[in-house]
Amino acid sequence: MDLKDTPTLEKMATTLRFLCADMVQEANSGHPGVAMGLADIAVVLSHHLHLNPKNPKWLERDRLVFSGGHASALVYALLHLWGFNVTLEDLKAFRQLHSKTPGHPEYQHTEGIEVTTGPLGQGFANAVGLAMASKLAQGTLGAAFSHKVYCLCGDGDLQEGVSYESASLAGHLGLDNLIVLYDSNAITIEGDTNLAFSENVRLRFEAQGWAVLECQGHNFLDIDNTLNTAKQSDKPTLIIAHTTIGKGALELEGSAKTHGAPLGAEVLKRAKEALGWAHPPFYIPEEVKLHFSLQRGEGEEKLWAQDLSAETKEKIAHLQAKDFSKVAYPVFELGQKCATRASNGVILNAISQAYLGFVGGSADLAPSNNTRLKEQGDFLKGQCGRNLHFGIREHAMGAICNGISNYGLFVPFCATFFVFSDYLAPALRLSALMQNQVYYIFTHDSIGVGEDGATHQPIEQLSHLRAIPNFEVYRPMDAHENVLCWQVALKRNKSAAFMLSRQDLEVASSANLEQVQRGGYVLHKSAREPQISLLSSGSEVLPCLKAAALLEAENIGVQVVSVPCFDLLLRQEQDYLNTLLVGEVLAVEASRGLEWFKFADSVLGMESFGKSGKGADLFKHFGFSPENIASKARALL
Amino acid sequence: MDLKDTPTLEKMATTLRFLCADMVQEANSGHPGVAMGLADIAVVLSHHLHLNPKNPKWLERDRLVFSGGHASALVYALLHLWGFNVTLEDLKAFRQLHSKTPGHPEYQHTEGIEVTTGPLGQGFANAVGLAMASKLAQGTLGAAFSHKVYCLCGDGDLQEGVSYESASLAGHLGLDNLIVLYDSNAITIEGDTNLAFSENVRLRFEAQGWAVLECQGHNFLDIDNTLNTAKQSDKPTLIIAHTTIGKGALELEGSAKTHGAPLGAEVLKRAKEALGWAHPPFYIPEEVKLHFSLQRGEGEEKLWAQDLSAETKEKIAHLQAKDFSKVAYPVFELGQKCATRASNGVILNAISQAYLGFVGGSADLAPSNNTRLKEQGDFLKGQCGRNLHFGIREHAMGAICNGISNYGLFVPFCATFFVFSDYLAPALRLSALMQNQVYYIFTHDSIGVGEDGATHQPIEQLSHLRAIPNFEVYRPMDAHENVLCWQVALKRNKSAAFMLSRQDLEVASSANLEQVQRGGYVLHKSAREPQISLLSSGSEVLPCLKAAALLEAENIGVQVVSVPCFDLLLRQEQDYLNTLLVGEVLAVEASRGLEWFKFADSVLGMESFGKSGKGADLFKHFGFSPENIASKARALL
């Protein structure tokens, strides 16, 4: 591609613009404005990118994230033009059920998509995660990893808190491999951005330790020069690209009307006429396709692979295998008292010994969350340890871990107090949606938090996370179950969360892996045939065991079912469930707990927020004493 | 108070320091470091504040928000010293069950607390909301409202995305009544802030349109001078106060160890000795109490009240009454087709006509959320209309609305797509916890969103919000129910959410207020005694009615129960429920739906994320066609 051959570049951009406009028109739904506004940048970027359409997972490829996922028409059009496995038919099926081209780009659904984007700001933070992962790769594997991470974002992304959080960390870490192109078109859905936004974006990013460049987003040479400068920067770089939304859409050019609706057949027809584009919809000139093609990537990958040492290859294989079968898990004895946040800390360290790609940290709560990997050093500017320091930035933490996971060489975990899972829920949802592998460590579970009070005690959070599809929530009753939960979770190879106690819990389970794998199992069964089954999880299992003893003393048959993973229990066949749900079923959990009605006749849960007070006082106050559990159970008979 | 009388000021600060340290020591839990670090600032601030301890709700009082709610010991100590209804006994019961002094300050629980704080960043955004409300008060009621809003915050607050978002809006709106004191002590839980944070905070706030001042946080005169300058600013002002965490705690001074644990009896004893403080714990010298007292506030309020015109008093009475009984609601006819987001827009306008304190807006989605109040103008810099423009800042939007609600003169609403309720969940949770009155308008409900796909389709969100205590979730089946839901919600006088369809829904309900007030009611009952009850909400009720017709054609008795408010249904007595839950009960809702097992034998819900495609195709694909509903129902018999 010759960047001085303006006529060809313009033809490429025009092709891209109308291809996107045609896609939206055909679907009768979508966002033409951003695609048309970014077309010129996309043409130049195609020249800079190192990708291999034949192997979309080439490890040393540049990563490209469209943070504004509503630019999906542009994304799919580019993938097609570059030579990825997205056909013209796929473009014509844009936004239709079962197509390869859904309304927002989806990871694992369409080749070449690095992350699922759509919820604004996420992609920006994912890109920071990808850049961190790239630095981790470089630190672990050497200079063979020196690609760039590009991110295209818009005003929406930059107004979201998650972008400030992650930009702050990117600047702090000096991620010089990150280049963000900010599509500054001064338009949002309600109209002019200055209705609600008047920041000095340059100053803001400089305050956060970034290099800031500007370019005219419709001038090929200017875009190219700016990208070249950015690639030399020793800081993360923001390129403020001044663009016009809906560029080429005649009287709609520059208008919010091009944002979220088709241009309309009439405007589109006139727009094509104005540029002398006398072609049918979805037309791609042959030479345009040639110019866009990224077939050079295949050769680039071959050259790169040739230079890898045997040692590097071995390390890559280790990282990619994500093999957790060799972890030397700690053993916890019956009767031992240990907070599950503490046992979890030991487990994390054991895992990190067996798998070098296990990296993570906390949102400034490492000493409380027990997430320190003792022998693995810190990940700081110019320092490549495996302990990440996210700062007090829960939301960015989740989104960054998504980026790290999607990078392909690492398995990240992150941590905060359980109640603050709310802060990162949008990112956690995307872990589930993307089917990647991020572990969320949530300590300070339930009213067991104690004195910090209602603001710090999760109530509705368990119901929330259990309701997320394709996501598993583990709440072990003790340190022993905690180990088994990790074994199950790592075998299942997908994102999951662990709810862990602040307070000591006595080890009372001697379950085996098979039992925990089923989500729930009979922990205790009285000699007499059970008339009551008590279902419970986490810190409430022990009081249930004590309640069972009280009931047995009255000659009432009872069994206690520990449910470390409600989600897995949901999948068990009825025959197995029948062995758990014997007689009257009472579920006991210090959470809102309505989902337990799936299995239980009655639920002893939380119907209000918590309170400030000693944990033991709170358990009693809210009805989780053995005496009250026994009394509720008795009432069912 | 004489700000040149350093010995007295020091005595005041020392009293405050040791009072706080004693509280934490007595509770054996809490955060002494921040309280001791801020003591000098608190002494000077006491001199600036206009508060009336005799009437904590005085409308023209300054608002003071401790965004770092872990500074609660300081908050309670100050309330006591200022003369609020917090006794020395209350201080001694710090963080104990049922005390007036919980671990984090709680609105409506302790007099003088403006907002519940603890989850970091929220208080900062609440303060922006209070400042916006104050501007609204000024615009509506005149210069009688000219007080300041003070906020104390720390590194934790400033690292959270919600503080960036709300600071950006505050700068944009030029909120010159807002003064934020940033307790810059360079320490967080993991240690030195520069482990994860190296922003130029001055530049960052200047980029967002703020004035930035700095002071030495242990120099009384410097603090005072800086506050005086801030009060004259024509922008929101950030005061960077350089402090030492745990100031006065000897060798622990400046250490992260003072953050979240008592100093220990031994250190505390030596610290007191070092300052010649030979007093028992909780000692307050008489003259210190006199100097701290804010009894002047009573006189200030009297003078202020005298000057109010009759017209202003009348307007205040109107705003405070929050009387919605005169709303002229629109009428929607059976058979009319109308998206509930559209009917809701008409309702919002009707409410705004009847009550002048009804203010709100959207996170840049007003045209999609239908939240424009047509005749009420815009709230912009120097312009006091009732349409708020939050920008693409969902989290700040929620937290700002909490501030506006707590201000006392307005009832705010805010809006976004339902799936993005995740972004503001931490703020919404605090609406519920604080028992204030904020309405959340969530349009683009369920897979009905259509082509935008899985990232934009809420699945788990209904279960999440229904699990939040003291919060009500309305999901009307049509425009008629939408009206009734608002009537119920406004009568109930508490925070609530409305889930509204993007797509047209046919009006098929002719329910009355009493029925909706119960949360659910029999919408349709076949002539034959029902063998099946179909429970449903929102857009799935209509297909249930059609399924009922299919079943009736087979001579199967069936009733359809519409449940616009699941939370209210939970509170109905068994007798009433028995009339709804007749025969086999199938719940049908395009959401995860596990909570329906509380009422239903079987649930037809969503077990995966959604997909991109036409809404009608998706409803069919995921099993919400009348035919499939009928078939599921049949299978239960």
* Triad A209, A210, A216: Cα angle to 5°: 155
Give me the residue from B364, B432, B594 closest to A598, CB to CB: B594
Q: Does A164 touch chain B (CB under 8 A)?
A: yes
Cα–Cα distance measured from residue B56 to residue B59, given in angstroms and rounded to the nearest whole number: 9
CB contact under 8 A, A389 and B209: no
Coil, helix or strand at residue B624: coil
CB contact under 8 A, B197 and A172: yes
CA distance A8 to chain B (A): 33
A60, A301, A394, A481: which one is catalytic? A394
- pLDDT over 70 percentage in chain A: 100
Q: What is the CATH number of domain A520-636?
A: 3.40.50.920
Residue numbers of A between 589 and 618 with CB closer than 8 Å to B? 592, 594-595, 597-598, 606-609, 611-614, 617-618
Chain B contact probe: residue of A25, A418, A423, A566 with most B CBs at under 10 A: A423
Q: Does A123 touch chain B (CB under 8 A)?
A: no
Cα–Cα distance measured from residue A9 to residue A7, given in angstroms and rounded to the nearest whole number: 5
Q: Does A388 touch chain B (CB under 8 A)?
A: no
* B519 contacts B571 by C-beta, under 8 angstroms: yes
Question: What pLDDT does A220 receive?
Answer: 97
Chain A contact probe: residue of B113, B259, B464, B502 with most A CBs at under 10 A: B464
CB contact under 8 A, A611 and B102: yes
**Chain A contact set for B120 (CB, 8 A):** 392
Cα atoms found within 13 Å of the Cα of residue B410, Cβ hemisphere only: 30
Chain B nearest-CA residue for A470: B608
Cα–Cα distance measured from residue B556 to residue B527, given in angstroms and rounded to the nearest whole number: 10
* A24 contacts A226 by C-beta, under 8 angstroms: no
User: A353: which residues sit within 8 A by CB, 6+ positions away?
Assistant: A327, A328, A375
Q: Does B365 touch chain A (CB under 8 A)?
A: yes
Chain B nearest-CA residue for A620: B97
Residues linked to residue A362 through DSSP beta bridges, in sequence order: A389, A415
Q: What is the CATH number of domain B517-636?
A: 3.40.50.920
Question: What pLDDT does A1 receive?
Answer: 66
- For residue A40, which of A162, A223, A191, A169 has the smallest C-alpha distance? A223
DSSP conformational letter for A63: E
Whether the domain at B6-300 and the domain at B517-636 fall into the same CATH topology: yes
* A443 contacts A473 by C-beta, under 8 angstroms: no
Q: Cα A376 vs. chain centroid, distance in angstroms?
A: 24
Question: What pLDDT does B565 receive?
Answer: 98
The continuous run of DSSP H or E covering A44 comes out as helix A32-48
Is-above-0.95 flag for pTM?
yes
User: B8: which residues sit within 8 A by CB, 6+ positions away?
Assistant: B1, B2, B287, B291
Q: Does B566 touch chain A (CB under 8 A)?
A: no
**Chain B contact set for A97 (CB, 8 A):** 611-614, 617-618, 621
**Chain B contact set for A29 (CB, 8 A):** 450-451
**Chain A contact set for B169 (CB, 8 A):** 196
What spatial distance separates the first Cα and last Cα of chain A, rounded to whole Å? 80
CB contact under 8 A, A366 and B190: yes
Residue numbers of B between 179 and 208 with CB closer than 8 Å to A? 188-190, 195-204, 206-208
Amino acid at A238: L
Active site residue B506: no
**Chain A contact set for B31 (CB, 8 A):** none
Q: What is the pLDDT of residues A51-88, one digit of tens each?
A: 999 999 999 999 999 999 999 999 999 999 999 999 99
Q: Does A90 touch chain B (CB under 8 A)?
A: no
Coil, helix or strand at residue B230: helix
Residue numbers of A between 458 and 517 with CB closer than 8 Å to B? 459-460, 463-464, 466-470
- The tokens describing B216, both together, are 């030495």
Q: Does B168 touch chain A (CB under 8 A)?
A: yes
- For residue A172, which of A131, A133, A210 has the smallest C-alpha distance? A210
Question: What pLDDT does A612 receive?
Answer: 98
Question: What pLDDT does A3 receive?
Answer: 83
Chain A contact probe: residue of B23, B110, B202, B451 with most A CBs at under 10 A: B451
Coil, helix or strand at residue A189: coil
Residue numbers of A between 26 and 55 with CB closer than 8 Å to B? 27, 29-30
CATH class of B321-506: alpha beta
Chain B contact probe: residue of A460, A462, A569, A598 with most B CBs at under 10 A: A460
DSSP string, B189-210: TTEEGGGT----HHHHHHHTT-
For residue A255, pLDDT over 80 is answered with: yes
The continuous run of DSSP H or E covering B339 comes out as strand B337-339
Q: Does B96 touch chain A (CB under 8 A)?
A: yes
Chain B contact probe: residue of A29, A90, A455, A614 with most B CBs at under 10 A: A455
**Chain B contact set for A362 (CB, 8 A):** 190
**Chain B contact set for A118 (CB, 8 A):** 452-453, 455-456
Q: What is the pLDDT of residues B84-93, one digit of tens each?
A: 999 999 999 9
Q: What is the CATH number of domain B6-300?
A: 3.40.50.970
CA distance A96 to chain B (A): 4
Chain A nearest-CA residue for B425: A422
- For residue B573, which of B511, B491, B518 has the smallest C-alpha distance? B518
Chain B nearest-CA residue for A362: B190
- The tokens describing B304, both together, are 């202020």
Question: What pLDDT does B393 receive?
Answer: 98
CA distance B124 to chain A (A): 13
**Chain B contact set for A30 (CB, 8 A):** 451
* Domain ranges within chain A, ordered by starting residue: 6-300, 321-506, 520-636
Question: What pLDDT does B335 receive?
Answer: 98
CB contact under 8 A, B172 and A597: no
Residues linked to residue B519 through DSSP beta bridges, in sequence order: none
Q: What is the pLDDT of residues A562-611, one digit of tens each?
A: 999 999 999 999 999 999 999 999 999 999 999 999 999 999 999 999 99
Chain B nearest-CA residue for A190: B364
B394, B481, B540, B589: which one is catalytic? B394
- Considering Cα of B68, then B69, then B72, then B78, what sign does the dihedral take? positive
Question: What pLDDT does A290 receive?
Answer: 96
Give me the residue from A203, A368, A463 closest to B467, CB to CB: A463
CB contact under 8 A, B464 and A467: yes
**Chain A contact set for B460 (CB, 8 A):** 429, 464, 467-469
ipTM: 0.98
CA distance A432 to chain B (A): 9
Q: How much is the CA Rg of chain A, to the nearest whole Å?
A: 27
Average pLDDT by stretches of 10, chain B with 637 residues: 89 98 97 96 98 98 97 98 98 98 98 97 98 98 97 97 98 98 91 90 98 98 98 98 96 93 96 96 97 97 97 98 97 98 98 98 96 97 96 98 98 98 98 98 98 98 98 98 98 97 98 98 97 98 98 98 98 98 98 98 98 98 98 97
| Residue positions counted in chain A | 637
CB contact under 8 A, B204 and A199: no
- For residue B68, which of B161, B130, B155, B169 has the smallest C-alpha distance? B155
For residue A456, pLDDT over 80 is answered with: yes
* B629 contacts B544 by C-beta, under 8 angstroms: yes
Q: What is the pLDDT of residues A190-201, one digit of tens each?
A: 888 889 999 999
φ, ψ of residue B619 to 5 degrees: the values are: -60, -40
